[in-house]
């Protein structure tokens, strides 16, 4: 067993490497450029949303209904007519990228902490690189990827976009595994 405090360097270094890799993937590579589209007649849609009083920090499902109303003919017709969707309203103003990036980095640290904890409980000092890589990579992949599948299942995100995020998570998991294998206590 390796105590978690002995793994502080791979925890921090893997978080930094994943943070940098995610920046490269999302800002320099074209893989995510087609993930989202502009609303048709965006100005009119935004004016309408402001006029009806949608508020930030909310998720709106449409057409909205209770579970009891799901089978009513009126509700079924509203769903057939469409559109059907989920609308997430964020706070107005320019995106606070510093806050988002800070939260993302903290998330990377948390995934690395869980990776260190589980790998440290399962492997001893001196374990071979590939054994550490296998365990750490699996844990980090789970932390970065599996929850993404819920977006396609419950939120209507296309499977193509979801699978791109899972691929990102695989890359992050492999990078994390490499750092833990490299810096594993001897």
Per-residue pLDDT tens for 107-121? 999 999 999 999 999
Whether residue 20 has pLDDT greater than 90: yes
Q: What is the pTM of this model?
A: 0.91
Structure tokens at 43: 């100005």
Say how far apart CA 137 and CA 180 lie, in whole Å. Answer: 9
Per-residue pLDDT tens for 47-69? 999 999 999 988 999 999 999 99
Yes or no: say if 22 and 170 are a contact pair by the CB < 8 Å rule.
no
């Amino acid at each position: 067993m390796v105590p978690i405090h002995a793994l502080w360097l791979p925890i921090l270094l893997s978080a930094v490497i994943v943070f940098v890799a995610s920046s490269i993937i999302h800002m320099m590579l074209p893989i995510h450029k087609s993930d989202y589209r502009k609303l048709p007649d965006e100005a009119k849609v935004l004016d309408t949303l402001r006029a009806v009083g949608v508020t930030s920090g909310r998720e709106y499902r449409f057409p909205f209904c209770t579970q009891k109303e799901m089978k009513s003919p009126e509700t079924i017709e509203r769903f057939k007519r469409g559109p059907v969707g989920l609308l997430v309203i964020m706070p107005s103003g320019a995106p606070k990228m510093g806050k988002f990036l800070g939260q993302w980095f903290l998330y990377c640290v948390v995934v690395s902490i869980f990776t260190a904890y589980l790998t440290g409980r399962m492997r001893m000092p001196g374990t071979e690189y590939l054994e550490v890589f296998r365990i750490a990579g699996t844990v980090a992949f789970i932390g970065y990827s599996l929850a993404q599948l819920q977006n396609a299942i419950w939120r209507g995100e296309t499977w193509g976009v979801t699978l791109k995020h899972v691929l990102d998570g695989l890359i992050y998991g492999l990078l994390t595994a490499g750092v833990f294998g490299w810096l594993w206590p001897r």
